[in-house]
Structure 1
Amino acid sequence: MDPLEYVWAGVLAVFLGPEAFSILGVGIPMTVLMVAGGFLVGIVGGATPGLAGPFLMAVALPILLSVFGFTPDALLPVLGFLIGVMKGATVGGAVPAILFNTPGTPDAMLTTLDGFPMAKKGEADRALRTAHFASVSGDTFSDLVLFTCAPFLAIVVEAYLGFNEKAALIILSLSFVAAVVGSSPMKGLISGFLGLFIASIATGQDNYPRLSLGTETMQSGVPLITAVLGVLILGEVLVAFEEMYRARNRTTIATSDGPQFKSGRLSFADRRRLMPFISISAVIGTIVGALPGIGSTLAATLGYATGERMHKGPVPFGKGTPEGIAATEAANSSVSGSNLIPVLSLGIPGNVAAVFLILAAESIGGFNPGPSVFRFTTEQVNPELVIAFGLFTAMMFANILNWFTGAHIMRACGVMSRVPRQVLLPMVLLVTLAAIYVQETNFGVLYFALAFAVLGYLMRKLRVPTLPFVISFILAANLEEALRQAFAVSNADPFFLFKSPLSVVFLVLSVVVVVFFSRPRREPSEPTNGSDRRST
C-alpha cells in the first residue's frame, strides 16, 4: 500500500467501521458516535469547576475497556472517545472562567482577566464566541502540524536510532519532564525515580518476582491504571476534601444569578481583527506542546504576554478586550494536538491527557505508539499505521463538530459552573473507585488505590510534582527493554550507552537540562524606602 492508500484506509476505518445502530437503514459508525459523545462529555466536564479533561479520561478509560473489551475493533472507538473528551474539555474550560470568574484550570486563570470583565459588561455571549473561535482555530492548526510532523519524526527515529540511542532518548525525556514540571527539578527527579522504582516491582524478564517482599499481593506487580488514577485523581480529591474542611467555617459571599447575555455574534471584521493574536498564540502553543512535560499553562502565559505587547486597541488587556481571550485560548488549545507528536512518533507521553491515550493503547493491544507505527510497508499492510490515520481522522471529525456546535454547547453548559463542590467531590470519588474496580474486578485493588491516593496527597502537600511519577511509571517497561536489548547487542559491555555518539549527546543533554533548570532563580527585590536604609 502506498501512503495515500493508508490515509484512505484510516478514513474508512472511522466512517465505515463497526456500526453502533442504524437509522432508517443508514448505519451510524461506532467510532463517529464515540467521538461525538466524548466531545459532549468533555465540554460539560470542562465547564464544571473541579472536573477537567484528564479526570474525565481517567474515569472513562476503565469503563470503556469493560464495555468494548480488548479486541482490535475497540481501539478506534475508545481512542476516539478520549480524543473527543480532550478536545471538548479544552473548549469547555473557558465557560466558568468567563461567566463566573471561576477558572477550572491554571491556564484558564488568564481567560478570566478579560472574559469576566466582558461578562459583567453584558458581553458574555461575545466573550464565549471569541473563546470558541480562538480555541478551535488553535486546535485545528496544532492538529495539522501533528499530522505533518509525527510521521516525519517517526521515520527519522526509526532510521537512525538503535537500542542504545532509544534508551538514551527515554532518559532525556524523563529528565526534561522532571526538570521543567514543578518548582524544583530535584523534586521532579525524586518523583521520576519513585515512579521507576514502583514500576519495577514484580516486572522484568526474570523468572522470579523482584521487590515483592515474598507476598502474594505484590507478586503480580502494581496495577498500572490503579496507580495512575490513585496518584492523579484520588490524591487531588483528598487535597480538595482537606480544603473544604478548612473552609467549612468561612463565610461565603452570595453571587448574582449570572451575567446577562446579549447578542454577540462575531462579524468577519471581528474575526479578521482577532486573527493576528490567534495566529501568534497558536504557533507558541504548538511549539510548547511538542515539548514533553511543559503543558498548557506556560503556553497560555506566553500567548497572553505576546498578545499584550501586540495590542494597540482602546481597551487594554485585563480590562475586558476580546483580544486577551483570543490570545489565551488559542495558545492553550493548540497544545492539545502538538502534545501527541512525541506520543505517536516516540511513544513518550508529554502531559496527563497523553498518558491516558497510551494507557488505552497498551491495555487493548494492537497499537504501540512509537516509531514503528509509521512504517510504510508495501508488501503487507501495517495495521498500526491504519489506526494512526484513523486517529487523525477522528481528531479532524472532532474539530468539525467543534466548529459547528461548540459555541452553542458552551453557552448551554454555563449552569454546570454552579455545581457545589460538596456535591461534586463525593461523586468524583465514588466514580473513580468504581472505575478502578471495573478495570481489575478485584476488591483488593482498592487497597492499592488507597495507598496511591495517600501517596498523591503527600506529594502535593510536599509540592512534589505527580506528572514525572506517572510518566516514568509508564515508560519504565520501555526503558528497561531498551536497556536490556542494547546491553545484549553490545555483548555485555558495561559502557554500552557511551558507544554511540548520538546516545552520548542525549545523555549529556539530560545532565544539561537538569543543571540548567536547577539554577537558583532571581527573585525581584522589594523596594525599600529611604528611612529603612538609614535605619540599617
Structure 2
Amino acid sequence: MTEILHHAWLGILAVLLGDPLFALGGYGVSAALVMVAAGFVLGVAVGATPGLAGPMAMAVSLPILISVFGFGSDALLPVMGFLIGVMKGATVGGAVPAILFNTPGTPDAYMTALDGYPLTRQGQAGKALRVAHFSSASGDTFSDLVLILCAPFLAVGVERFLDLPEKTALLLLSLAFVSAAIGGSVGRGLISTGLGLLVAYVGTGLDFHPRLTLGIDDLADGFAPAPVILGVLILGEVFTRFEGMWHARRLRRTPRPVHQRLAGRLTRQERRRLLPHIARSALIGTIIGALPGIGSTLAALLGYRAGRMRQARALRARAAAGAMDAGAAGKRADDRVPFGEGAIEGVAAAEAANSSVVGANLIPALSLGIPGNVAAVFLILAAETIEGFNPGPTAFRTSPGLVNPELVIVFGIFTMMMLANAFNWLMGGSMMRWLAVLSRVPEHILMPFVLLLTLSGIYIQQMRFSAMVIVVLFGALGWGMRRLGITPLPFVIAYILGDRLEDTARQAFSATGGDGLFLFSSPVASLLTLAALTVPAVVFWRRLRAPGETKMGPAM
C-alpha cells in the first residue's frame, strides 16, 4: 500500500508540477493542467454542436498534438490530458442541442431530449440545462471514483491469477462480447470483428514472412493505426453525413427554428428529488461502462427506464394509499410530471447514466488494454503512438524501492480526470448556456471542416501521401459498413487487439509445449473459451426470440 500511495503522489506531482507551458505571476503552469482545461472547453463546444462528437474532436486533435509535443514520454500527460478534457466536456455538452432543439447529436442524448425538449417548449430551458449539468457532473464523478478504486485491483488480479492461456481466452471473450453486444445483429458484429482482425494481420508476422500483402511491398509493414482508425470511425461518419445532407437537399428539408429561454434555477428541494435518480443511473452507467464495447447508449436507455418505472410505482403506491386527493395532488404536483412530458427526473436519469460511463469505460482500457468505447480507442492509440506507456496489467506492477513510470502515468491520468471533473463543476453549466448558439451551426459547414482537419492531421503525423490514400480508402470502408448496418466499433477494437491476441497466443502455445489445445489447458482458460463460444449464440437466441427488442449501439 505504501508503494501505491507513493506512485499516486508522484502522479499528482507529475500533473501539477510537470513541464510548464507558460509562466503566470512568476510561477510555471503545468502543460498537463493547461491541456486538460483547453480540452474540456473544446469538448463542451464540440458536444454542443450537432453533427460533431467527442471522438471526432479527439481524432482530429491527436495527430496535431503529437506533432506539437513529439513522441517522447514527456508528451504523454499533456496529450492524454487534452483528450480526457475533450471526452469529459463533450459528454456534458451533448445535452445542449438535445434539450434546446430536439436534435441529439448522439443516440444516448436522445433519451435526454425526451424530457429536455418539452421543458424548453414550456419555457424552462435554463432549468433543463442546469439539471443536465448537475446530473452529468455527479454521475461522472462517481464513475471516476469507481475507476480509481477498481482498475488497480482488476489489473493486479489479472496479472497474478491469469497465465498466458487464460489471457488469450480473455481476449477472445472480449472480442466475442463486443461482437455480440454492439449493434442490431450478432452476425454483423462478427463480420466487423473479422474484418478488423484481417486488417490487423496484414504485413509481416513474427516469422518475418509477408502475409495478406497481395504482393504489394508497401504493405509489408502493415497498416499504420492512425489512418485505419480515423478512416473507419471519422471519415466513414463524415461520408455518411454527406450522403444524408444530399438526400435532405433532394427532399428540401429545412429545420424549423425554435425560440429558447434560458432562465430558471434549481431549488434545494428539486436537487433532493433528483438525487435518487442520479444515484441509480450512475450505478447503472458505471456497471454498463465497465463492460467493453457497450457504450453510453444502453446505459442512458436503462437509466431512463429505471427512473420511469420507479416513478410509475410511486404513483401507483400513492393512489393505492389514497394520497391522490386534491390537497396532496396540489402539494406534490411538481414531482408528478410523467416521464416524456418534461420531467426533470427524466433528464437527470438519462444524463447521469450516460455520463457515468465515461470513467468506467477506462477500467478495461487501463487495466486490461481493452478499449471500452470510441473515446478509449483514441486514448489507447495515443499510448501506442507515444513511447513510455503500455496500458494493461503490467502498468500496475510495483517493486519495493523502485518506481514504475507507467504506474505514475496511470495515477497522472486519474489526477487529470478528477481535474476535468473540477472544471466541469466550476464552469460546465455556464459554458453549456453560453455555447447554446453553436447548436445553430449548419451541418454542411461542419462536415467539410472536419474532413479537412482530419486529412491535415494525418498528413502532419505521417508525412506521406500514401497515408492520405489509406485513410480515404478506410473511410470508404467505414461508409460502406454503415450503409450495410455494420457497426465499425468492433472493427476498431479487433484491429487494436489483433497484435496482442497473436502475441499472447503464440507465447501460450510455446509455454504449453506446442499444445494445440492450450485454450483448454486449465479450468479457467476452458471456462473463458467456452464463454467466448456461447456468448454470441446466447445473444443471437435472445434476439431471435424477441425481435422487437431495441438494440442500442455506439454513436459512431
Partner Cα distance (1:24, 1:87) in 2: 29
Q: Residues 146-157 of structure 1: matches in 2 within 5 Å?
A: 146-157=147-158
CA distance in 2, matches of 1:62, 1:167: 31
Q: CA deviation at 1:252?
A: 3.6
1:155-213 C-alpha deviation (Å, 9 max, x unpaired): 11010111111111000000000001111111111111111111111142122322212
Separation in 1 of the partners of 2:369 and 2:90?
23
Instruction: Return the offset for 1:245.
Output: 1.1
Pair 1:361 & 2:383 matched:
yes
Residues 181-330 of structure 1: matches in 2 within 5 Å?
181-253=182-254, 255-256=256-257, 258-262=259-263, 264-311=264-311, 312=315, 313-330=335-352
Amino acid aligned to 1:64? L
Deviation at 1:257, TM superposition (A): 5.5
AA of the residue aligned to 1:60: S
| CA-CA distance at 1:254 after TM superposition | 5.7
Question: Which residue of structure 1 aligns with residue 445 of structure 2?
Answer: 423
Conserved in 1, the CA contact under 8 Å of 2:101 and 2:258? no
Of 506, 510, 514, the match for 1:492: 514
Q: 1:381 to 1:110 in 2, by over 3 A?
A: same
Partner Cα distance (1:203, 1:116) in 2: 54
Alignment partner of 1:38 is 2:60: no
Q: Specify the alignment match of 1:162 in structure 2.
A: 163
Counterpart-to-counterpart distance in 1, 2:337 and 2:415: 40
Secondary structure in structure 1 of the residue aligned to 2:29: strand
The answer to which of 108-117 and 328-337 deviates more is 108-117
Separation (CA, whole Å) in 2 of partners of 1:28 and 1:407: 25
Shift of 1:376: 2.0
The 3-state SS of whatever aligns with 1:355 is helix
Decide which moves more: 490-499 or 424-433. Answer: 490-499
Quote the Cα distance in structure 1 between the aligned partners of 2:257 and 2:201: 53
TM alignment of 1:365-514, pairs within 5 A:
365-514=387-536
- Letter of the 2:223 counterpart: V
Q: Name the SS of the counterpart of 1:518 in structure 2.
A: helix
Match of 2:108 in 1: 107
CA distance in 1, matches of 2:490, 2:431: 34
User: What amino acid maps onto 1:488 in structure 2?
Assistant: S
Q: CA deviation at 1:85?
A: 0.5
Cα distance in 2 for residues equivalent to 1:524 and 1:130: 32
Closer, same or farther: CA 421–15 of 1 in aligned 2, 3 Å: same
Shift in Å, 1:465: 1.4
What secondary structure sits across from 1:343 in the alignment?
helix
SS of the residue 2:239 aligns to: helix
Which of 506, 518, 522 in structure 1 is aligned with 2:546? 522
RMSD: 1.3
- Counting matched residue pairs gives 524
Identical-residue share of aligned pairs (%): 56
Match of 1:51 in 2: 52
Bigger Cα displacement from structure 2, 205-214 vs 34-43: 205-214
Output the TM-score relative to the length of structure 1.
0.96
CA separation of 1:371 and 1:524: change in aligned 2, threshold 3 A: closer
Deviates more, 1:494-503 or 1:155-164: 494-503
Change in CA separation of 1:497 and 1:524 when aligned onto 2, cut-off 3 Å: closer
**Distance (whole Å) between structure 1 residues aligned to residue 394 and residue 220 of structure 2:** 32
Cα pair distance change 1:165/1:101, threshold 3 Å: same
- For 1:495 and 1:320, how far apart are their aligned partners in 2? 58
Q: Could you tell me which amino acid in structure 1 is paired with residue 98 of structure 2?
A: A
Distance 1:190 1:249 in 2: 33
Cα shift readout 1:397-442 (whole Å, capped 9, x = no counterpart): 0000000100000001111111111111111111111111111110
For structure 2, list consecutive stretches of 5 or more residues without a partner in the other structure.
316-334, 550-556
- Separation of aligned partners in 1, 2:255 and 2:60: 33
The Cα offsets for residues 135-163 of structure 1, whole Å up to 9 and x where unpaired, read as 00000000000001100111110101111
Output one character per residue of 1:16-71: Cα deviation in whole Å (capped at 9) or x when no partner. 00000001202110000000000001000000111101111111111111111111
